[in-house]
């Protein structure tokens, strides 16, 4: 009376237009959709026009790019064909998955975009690059795997691991694990170490330069120590002056660098100053650096001439200092 049609059923469901179930529920046959050859998602053929709600089973692989179709069931939304995904990724729990077969992404050379508020926020392009804030790879990003374009707004990246601080720089260990490092902080091994004790450096004698605190490194890497020397010599004339010295850098008591530095015409208590740079490579956290000095060429007779710092044996009160920088 309402126009429902039942095939093999004389009592079709009142909410259906067509009921294909057997009256006794012993169904042994299914619904076979028309098998058609689609030309592409955007092509209505072999139908004459796109018709919303139309279902077909496509038997062809056709079309190009994002309009490609492959064998399977399709329905039409009135503007294009849409493949019916039987094995869809559920919004709730997904169990029994295998990453080789179950994934979110594309199987063709098409980018995967993620949106919120209908605005693209993130994209993984077909080359495997992660793009944030942009849909294209900018100049210079050929080898980059992750690209963030924050326009002219500062603060595109925020990393908090407990080591962050104002003015910190990001460094890595030999395995590429990054962390924050505070340059210019003597507690971390970098900064200025001043000599606060007057010392004597006798000719041909290895003498350690005393600093305000031990140079203990807070992180691994390569460090340059810049020795800013200020002192005097007791040679009475230029002929007897100690006019060179060896500067040595030690790491945990083992020499890692050294250089001989020459200075001319400094004698009889006149001041002399110089800057000497030494390098320590492959350092680890908690390594300790020390500096030793050996006055060399020149001297009174055998070995009586001496270099001085501070007030010891001279009226000059200037002291050496050491600047440690992590490269």
Q: pLDDT per residue over 205-236, tens digit each?
A: 899 999 888 898 888 889 999 999 988 877 65
Residue the block writes with tokens 């210019």: 184
The confidence score (pLDDT) of residue 24 equals 75
Name the fold adopted by 186-326: Jelly Rolls (2.60.120)
Q: pLDDT per residue over 33-78, tens digit each?
A: 999 999 999 999 999 999 999 999 999 999 988 888 989 999 999 9
The confidence score (pLDDT) of residue 244 equals 80
The confidence score (pLDDT) of residue 46 equals 95
Cβ atoms of residues 124 and 130 within 8 Å: yes
Rounded Cα distance between 120 and 127, Å, is 18
Radius of gyration over every alpha carbon of the chain, rounded to an integer in angstroms = 40
Of residues 322 and 303, which shows the higher confidence score? 322
CA atoms within 13 A on the CB side of 146: 2
Q: pLDDT per residue over 101-147, tens digit each?
A: 788 888 889 999 999 999 999 999 999 999 999 999 999 999 999 99
Of residues 285 and 275, which shows the higher confidence score? 275
* Phi, psi values for residue 187, rounded to 5°: -65, -20
* Phi, psi values for residue 186, rounded to 5°: -60, -25
Percentage of residues in the chain having pLDDT higher than 70: 84
Residue the block writes with tokens 């237009």: 17
Confidence of residue 195 (pLDDT cuts 50, 70, 90): confident
Q: pLDDT per residue over 256-282, tens digit each?
A: 999 998 876 555 666 788 899 999 999
Contacts of 294 (CB under 8 A, 6+ apart): 201, 204, 205, 206, 207, 245, 246, 248
State mean pLDDT over 245-263. Answer: 93
Q: pLDDT per residue over 137-168, tens digit each?
A: 999 999 999 999 999 998 899 999 888 877 77
Of residues 79 and 14, which shows the higher confidence score? 79
Domain with CATH 2.60.120 in the chain: 186-326
pTM confidence score:
0.47
State mean pLDDT over 174-200. Answer: 76
Within 10 Å of residue 249's Cβ, how many Cβ atoms?
24
Rounded Cα distance between 256 and 190, Å, is 18
């Amino acid at each position: 009376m309402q126009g429902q049609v039942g095939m093999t059923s004389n009592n079709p469901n009142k909410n259906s237009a067509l009921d294909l179930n057997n009256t006794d529920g012993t169904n042994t046959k299914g619904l076979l959709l028309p098998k058609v050859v689609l030309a592409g998602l955007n092509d209505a053929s072999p139908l004459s026009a796109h018709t919303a709600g139309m279902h077909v089973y496509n038997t062809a692989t056709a079309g190009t790019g994002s309009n490609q179709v492959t064998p399977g069931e399709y329905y039409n939304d009135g503007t294009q064909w849409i493949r019916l995904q039987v094995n869809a990724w559920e919004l709730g729990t997904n169990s029994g998955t295998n990453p080789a077969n179950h994934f979110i992404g594309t199987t063709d050379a098409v980018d995967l975009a993620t949106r919120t508020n209908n605005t693209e926020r993130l994209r993984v392009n077909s080359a495997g690059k992660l793009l944030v804030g942009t849909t294209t790879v900018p100049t210079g990003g050929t080898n980059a795997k992750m690209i963030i374009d924050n326009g002219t707004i500062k603060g595109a990246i925020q990393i908090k691991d407990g080591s962050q601080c104002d003015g910190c720089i990001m460094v890595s260990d030999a395995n590429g694990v990054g962390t924050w490092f505070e340059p210019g902080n003597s507690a971390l091994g970098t900064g200025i170490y001043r000599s606060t004790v007057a010392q004597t450096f006798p000719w041909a004698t290895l003498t350690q330069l005393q600093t305000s605190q031990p140079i203990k490194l807070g992180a691994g890497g390569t460090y340059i120590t810049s020795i800013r020397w200020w002192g005097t010599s007791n040679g009475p004339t230029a002929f007897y002056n100690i006019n060179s010295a060896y500067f040595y850098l030690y790491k945990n008591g083992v020499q890692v660098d050294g250089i001989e530095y020459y200075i001319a015409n400094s004698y009889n208590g006149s001041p002399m100053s110089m800057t000497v740079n030494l390098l320590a490579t492959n350092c680890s956290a908690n390594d300790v650096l020390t500096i030793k000095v050996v006055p060399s060429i020149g001297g009174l007779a055998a070995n009586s001439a001496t270099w001085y710092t501070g007030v010891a044996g001279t009226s000059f009160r200037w002291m050496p200092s050491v600047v440690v920088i992590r490269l």
